[in-house]
Chains A and B, each alone.
Chain A
Amino acid sequence: MAKDIIIAKNLKKWFPLRTGLLSSILKKEQFFVHAVDGISFNIKKGEIFALAGESGSGKTTTGRLLVRLIEPTDGVIIYDGKDITKLSQKEFMPYRKKLQIIFQDPYESLNPRMLIYDIIAEPLTIHGFSEKEKEERVFKALEDVRLVPPQEFIFRFPHELSGGQRQRVAIARALVLNPEFIVADEPVSMLDVSIRAEILNLMFELKEKYGMTILYITHDLALARHICDSIAIMYLGKIMEMGSVDEVINEPLHPYTEALIEAVPVPDPEASRIETVLKGEIPSPVNPPSGCRFHTRCPKYIGDICKAKEPKLTEISKGRYVACHLYSSK
């Protein structure tokens, strides 16, 4: 039974809303964007855990919180049994080697003025590796991501590489410190469709080879279904449903999950089309709806309880969680 490598408890991140000078003088209240508003989940060692949702759901913020690129407003992050939430930057340094992140935009995440060698070697430099060790590790990382022969790539600049190659460099950079946990934030969404599978298959192979765990952030449910083991569906900073990817996608419980799945187009012109599409748009995260955040658009709205009381994320069967009054036992 695989143990939990990451446990998040009631994680929150509120961003203060910047207002103009006059408003800050006149207004007494401070407004916040409730990007992540109290979420709890466990990720097992070795699995690929999908964090799925639309824009404004808080998934990217959550990914960055876990590697402490940004600091949580509240809540606890436990890594491999140790509470890493409040460690000082110095105490946290050794953990930075274990927790890495791959960003979405291969055109923005690599410093355009650095050689590929330096980009991949940078984390090693920061952590005090010798020149010889750096060279070995950079070459190995390039081989792992199949940018071979390494000599052909180390003296190039990012602009000389294609999007797919750049993303491989980003992966190499994330691998070079032998991490245990990688946050992959929509790593293929900006790549051409025909090469996405290549990058994903590569990530999967490397995960298996090095025994890593991956948090895969995505808005693409179809993709998540094919490569991930577990999934958590986020909406406006909260988790609506969570469980194994097969259960959640094949038998969704939360009305939002159902709506999301129905909205995903299917590459089959003969597939039967569901005619109902969820109405409306995602409300503002500055002033999220009361009670259940989804109640303003929910096709299965029960009544006042949905508006008044926020449903707790409850485990209704082993490993299967849902936050919805439809399922709360009375």
Chain B
Amino acid sequence: MKREASLLEVQNLTTYYELPRGYVKAAENINFNVKVGEALGLAGESGCGKTTVALSIVRLLPPEGRIMGGKCLFKGVDIVKLPEEEVRKKIRWKGISIVFQGAMNALNPVYRIGDQIVEAITTHEDVSEEEAIKRAEKLFELVGIDPSRLDNYPFEFSGGMRQRALIAMALACNPDLIIADEPGTALDVIVQAQVLKLLKSLKEKLNLAVIMISHDLSMIAETCDKIAIMYAGRIVEYGDIVKVFKRSLHPYTQGLIGAFPSIKGPRMRMISIPGSPPNLLNPPPGCRFHPRCKYAMDICRKEVPEFIEIEPEHWVACHLVSKK
């Protein structure tokens, strides 16, 4: 990996979930970096490990989650090795914020939205309640909600507004990086476009770095600078977004892109990838995609392909490619 000013550098991160019957190998040897003000799309379907990676970074894994190895360097400091107190005081909300999937439904229904944001601010920073309220008002303006609506309860907000309120909350302590897990799910197309536009403008105005987790490649294509495609716990392709889209090398990436019909351009037959993702308690040996890959060779069944930089800013893990 290039040693430039990376805000977040994930190196060989491996996270498993410990169950009575064994380890679920949810994420293995994850490598990527995010620079200041950069947007990375973490793409993949359900069960590929993208949320596990996000939770590992902010150390919010459930009790069964274990970071088995690797580093998450945030401004040079390894989050994985920090004590919980430090993570809570210095990293969460202030350094890295996370907007969970479907969080708009997880807002506490019996408290006003304003109170929830103020609580977030006063818990993590030494400011008075008045100060916090003023900040909350500014945040609402930033995300395009009338500040007077801080007094509303969550049920008085529509889905799109709740999503924006959550983004406001995530920005409450001026983080450098925001992780948005499926920010468009359960939102209508137009509202989704509004939220994406908001994220893009926040990225510009605040020089905010973003990790956008999504199964929707179109959404990632619209907003991100880089993309990492995950399959069955591993990154199969990673790099500059234009390079990955225009010259996708991994068969899974190609299949995934082919599964997203475009509203523009000529009508095409949609591609699908037969089969389904493997059970991560007992993943297949070698390349985890080989059971579904039409190009699978013998070596694919035996050896895990190496993550190779095939051209500047474009990495792929595939025996087909490394052979050349």
Contacts and interface: CB of A to CB of B under 8 A. Distances in A.
Interface of A: 54-55, 162, 164, 192-198, 200-201, 219, 221-223, 225-227, 246, 249, 259-271, 273, 277-279, 281-282
B264 A193 contact: no
A196 B259 contact: yes
A267 B191 contact: no
Contact of B256 (A54, A193, A222, A268): A193
Contact of A226 (B192, B268, B276): B268
Contact of A201 (B46, B191, B272, B276): B272
B162 to A, nearest CB: 11
A270 B255 CA distance: 20
A197 B217 contact: no
Nearest to A199: B272
The 10 nearest A-B residue pairs measured at CB: A197-B272, A197-B270, A265-B218, A263-B193, A198-B272, A54-B188, A194-B273, A222-B263, A267-B260, A226-B261
A194 B255 contact: yes
Query: How big is chain B's contact interface, by range?
Result: 35 or more
Contacts of A227: 270
A270 B243 CA distance: 10
Contacts of A222: 218, 260-263
Nearest to B221: A269
B108 interface: no
A193 B261 contact: no
Which of A194, A221, A222, A278 counts the most B-chain CB atoms under 10 A from its CB? A194
Interface of B: 45-46, 158, 160-161, 188-194, 196-197, 215-219, 221-222, 224, 241-242, 245-246, 255-264, 267-274, 276-277
13 contacts: A54-B188, A197-B258, A197-B271, A221-B189, A222-B260, A222-B262, A223-B261, A246-B267, A264-B189, A264-B263, A265-B218, A267-B218, A270-B242
A200 B45 contact: no
A54 B270 contact: no
B190 A278 contact: yes
A200 B258 CA distance: 14
A55 B219 contact: no
A152 to B, nearest CB: 16
A266 B241 CA distance: 13
A282 B159 CA distance: 11
Given A225-B263, A226-B267, A281-B191, A267 B197 contact: no
